[in-house]
């Protein structure tokens, strides 16, 4: 088999993902940069599905920083409770709304520095807002994308920061925003399956790390041995 460069491989993976997910709707419901920022903040350690159930209630009470600061932290906390980490998240929502009003004339800032200076907003959240609200090329890397980049041999990164650098180097900037979503969609559809068979995976079957197959084969052999010894001990 002809050896392909890492960049060629990356582009092939991108084309497989594009074939699977030609449309990339933003999973978090929102109507403007502010509601997106709040939804992304709420999605930390929570599913998008749950966030989408909670935000209509929150945004019915306050969908802009002016209205949000008229609420108190406790009433925000009560509504967002199903998203988890509600004491911390409610305080961040209240405080960042105040800062947006005081320092940014009521508008969500459209640059990394100001976004990351807001309470509860890390680099990943800022990257999502920059790409999905302002269309600026960014590559938000969470633990799921980090894991997939390792499995597909695109990065040996020990942390999300290194993985983000590697992915940005491998993929053209013009596709970063959609690719980030396509990888998330892929992970949700394929990587959750149990039992997990890398030989059947549209990407790992071509580019997966050897270790995944060795681990899978080992599990299969062990299971087979268990079945054999069970049928020996309990002959029909
Ligand atoms: S083999 Fe599994 S982990 Fe790898 S990409 Fe496919 S579904 Fe995900």
Give 122's pLDDT tier (boundaries 50, 70, 90): very high
Between residues 234 and 135, the one the model is more confident about: 135
Cis, peptide link before residue 172, omega less than 30° from 0:
no
Ligand 1 atom 5 nearest Cα: 204
Give 234's pLDDT tier (boundaries 50, 70, 90): confident
Rounded Cα distance between 67 and 2, Å, is 60
Counting ligand 1 atoms within 8 A of each CB, the residue from 13, 203, 206 with the most, and so the one to mutate, is 203
Question: Which of 185, 184, 210, 188 has its CA nearest to residue 199?
Answer: 210
- What is the model's pLDDT at position 193? 64
Q: Residue 186 pLDDT more than 60?
A: yes
Between residues 121 and 216, the one the model is more confident about: 121
- What is the model's pLDDT at position 150? 92
Residue 7 tokens, joined: 């960049």
Q: 92 with 41: CB under 8 angstroms?
A: yes
Count of domains forming the chain: 2
The reply to whether 137 falls in a domain is no
The reply to whether 46 falls in a domain is yes
Residue 193 tokens, joined: 């399956």
User: 3-state class of 107 per DSSP?
Assistant: coil
Ligand 1 atom 4 nearest Cα: 204
Ligand 1 atom 6 nearest Cα: 201
Question: What's CA 63's distance to the chain center, in Å?
Answer: 24
Q: Which bin fits 59, alpha (ψ -120 to 50), beta or left (φ > 0)?
A: alpha
Least confident window among 70-74, 170-174, 225-229: 225-229
The reply to whether 28 falls in a domain is no
Torsion over CA: 218, 220, 222, 224 (sign): negative
For the CA of 147, the closest atom of ligand 1 is 3
Rounded Cα distance between 94 and 96, Å, is 6
Model pTM? 0.89
- What is the model's pLDDT at position 236? 60
Q: Residue 214 pLDDT more than 60?
A: yes
| Residues 25-51 pLDDT 10s | 999 999 999 999 999 999 999 999 999
Residue 207 tokens, joined: 């580019």
For the chain, the average pLDDT equals: 93
For the CA of 190, the closest atom of ligand 1 is 7
Domain of residue 168 covers 1-23+143-227
Rounded Cα distance between 108 and 116, Å, is 11
Residues 6+ apart with CB under 8 A from 182: 14, 17, 18, 20, 21, 24
Q: 77 with 87: CB under 8 angstroms?
A: yes
**End-to-end CA distance of the chain, in Å?**
47
Domain CATH for 95: 1.10.340.30
Domain boundary among 78, 97, 132: 132
* 97 plus 179 within the same structural domain: no
* 62 plus 97 within the same structural domain: yes
Q: Residue 222 pLDDT more than 80?
A: yes
Give 195's pLDDT tier (boundaries 50, 70, 90): low
The reply to whether 92 falls in a domain is yes
| Residues 101-113 pLDDT 10s | 999 999 999 999 9
DSSP at 159: S
Mean pLDDT of 7-28: 96
Give 11's pLDDT tier (boundaries 50, 70, 90): very high
How wide is the angle at C-alpha 73 spanned by C-alphas 70 and 75, nearest 5°? 80
- What is the model's pLDDT at position 177? 96
């Amino acid at each position: 088999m002809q050896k392909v460069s890492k960049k060629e491989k990356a582009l092939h993976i991108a084309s497989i993902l594009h074939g699977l997910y030609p449309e990339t709707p933003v999973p978090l419901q929102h109507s403007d940069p502010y509601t997106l920022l709040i939804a992304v903040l709420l999605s930390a350690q929570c599913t998008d599905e749950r966030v989408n159930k909670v935000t209509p209630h929150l945004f019915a009470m306050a969908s802009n920083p002016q209205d949000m600061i008229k609420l108190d932290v406790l009433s925000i906390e009560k509504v967002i409770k199903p998203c988890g980490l509600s004491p911390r998240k409610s305080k961040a929502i209240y405080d960042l709304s105040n800062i947006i009003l005081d320092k940014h004339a009521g508008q969500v800032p459209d640059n990394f520095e100001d976004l990351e200076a807001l309470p509860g907003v890390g680099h990943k959240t800022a990257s999502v807002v920059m790409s999905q609200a302002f269309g600026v090329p960014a590559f938000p890397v969470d633990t799921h994308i980090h894991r997939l980049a390792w499995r597909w041999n695109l990065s040996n990164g020990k942390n999300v920061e290194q993985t983000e650098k590697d992915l940005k180097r491998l993929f053209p900037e013009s596709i970063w925003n959609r690719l980030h979503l396509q990888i998330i969609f892929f992970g949700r559809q394929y990587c959750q399956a149990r039992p997990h068979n890398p030989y059947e995976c549209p990407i790992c079957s071509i580019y997966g790390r050897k270790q995944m197959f060795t681990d899978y084969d080992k599990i299969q052999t062990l299971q087979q041995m268990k079945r054999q010894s069970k049928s020996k001990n309990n002959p029909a």
